Amino acid sequence: MQIPSKYDVGLAFEQKKGFTKSDHIDAIDYGERLLRIQRGREVVYTALFHCCVDDKIIRWMKVSLGEGHYVTKVSRPASLGPSGEGQQQLLTMLSKTTVELGRIFPNLGNSDAGDTIKISFIVGEGATSIVYMGLLGGRPGILKVMKDGFEILADHEAFILNLLHANDTPCLSNVTYVKEGVLFFDEVLRPIRHLTATHVKDMVSCLKYSHSKAMVVHRDVRPDNIMEDTDGTLRIIDWGFAYVLNSDAAPPKLQGTFRYASDSVLEAAILQKARYPEPQDDLESVVRVVAAMGNMNVRHELARIEDGDFCSAKAAWARYQQQMPRLAELSAFAADLSYEKVAQILL
């Protein structure tokens, strides 16, 4: 395997007496996560350090993006001694500049209101946007920058969030429309590591208000869009795919999420059939999100399904329902819009 190239992203350092199978799995998972959140990246390298007798050695784990999946390779061991090949490899990597590593952020100029926009670092990346930590007129927060061709989603998400706030929908972040294709959120959120009964109740409450008062279906309920603030209060984010019920809008062509979508959504996608979203779709996604967040094997298996492979997603959930009878029961509650029963998933 070659020395890291211009596509390199960063390093993760692990130092142990010996690398076990679980260590390698954790390292691969870390590499895939880095690759997913880096803009335009094709390869990420992770440095694996460990000791072999009296010598400290290094291996480079390379995670690259293949045809809809990840490919992982581990290099041969190299010594980190003064004259060892590993020492030279490490020095080469550490000497790379931010330009060589591709960490050049877009210049967003000023907002429509004249405030300066400054990007600090990347937080994550999705199919339609890139999320940065940054400043808007000196205020710290999150900048959501839409990718080319998806700028209109910023207008739509700002409209939806303002509509939801006007209807007192709980568990939302405040949004500022910055300029075409750019939104600013004044809260810095973090992923929820351990889903609690309170989290589930808040999630269901948010969607109940959204459906019944604002007449809005989220359409993209998935683990990455369930966050919490510094006090541990749940926030549902990413309303760019939301649909307003009883509006004049045509059935949306974009599916939003599909790995956690309801069977009805997946069936329509498989048949390439236009379909109006329904509140039941969100509630069934909640059931599937809770199941996946409580079982990392389920979540990892879903993550390996290629984008757009609706048949595999539908088959996977059919299998999970056979393995977990409670999942089928909760899905039935969701289909009946039994918000209260769905909210008791973790009780």
Residues 141-164 have pLDDT tens digits of 999 999 999 999 999 999 999 999
**Average of per-residue pLDDT across 321-335:** 93
List of E strands, 34-115: 43-52, 55-65, 70-74, 78-79
Between 17-31, 185-199, 304-318, the lowest mean confidence (pLDDT) is in: 17-31
How much is the pLDDT for 121?
Answer: 75
Spatial neighbors of 104 by CB under 8 A, at least 6 apart, are 98
- 191 Cβ contact partners less than 8 Å away, ≥ 6 residues apart: 223, 224, 227, 228
35 pLDDT exceeds 90?
A: no
Output the CA torsion 244→249→251→255 (10° steps): -60
Kindly list the distances between the CA atom of residue 6 and the CA atoms of 41, 88, 254, 264, 337, in Å, as whole numbers in the listed order: 10, 17, 34, 44, 51
CATH code, 117-185: 3.30.200.20
Q: What is the pTM of this model?
A: 0.72
Q: Which residue has the higher pLDDT, 245 or 2?
A: 245
- Predicted confidence at residue 78, as pLDDT, reads 82
pLDDT of residue 14: 46
Q: Of 129 and 11, which is predicted with more confidence? A: 129
pLDDT band at 15 (very low <50, low <70, confident <90, very high): very low
**One-letter amino acid for residue 229 of the chain:** D
Give me the CATH topology for the region 191-342. Answer: Transferase(Phosphotransferase); domain 1 (1.10.510)
Between vectors from CA 36 to CA 32 and to CA 42, what angle results, nearest 5°? 85
Across 231-259, average pLDDT: 90
Each residue's pLDDT tens digit, 271-283:
999 899 999 999 9
Higher pLDDT, 305 or 24: 305
Q: What is the pLDDT of residue 30?
A: 67
Choose among 76, 61, 65: nearest CA to 28. Answer: 61
The pLDDT of 238-244, averaged and rounded, is: 95
pLDDT of residue 18: 57
Lowest mean pLDDT among 52-66, 219-233, 322-336: 52-66
Query: Mean pLDDT, to the nearest integer, of 44-61?
Result: 72
Residue 211 clears pLDDT 90, i.e. is over it: yes
Instruction: Report whether 245 contacts 217 (CB < 8 A).
Output: yes
Q: What number is the average pLDDT over the span 36-64?
A: 68
Structure tokens at 344: 């008791």
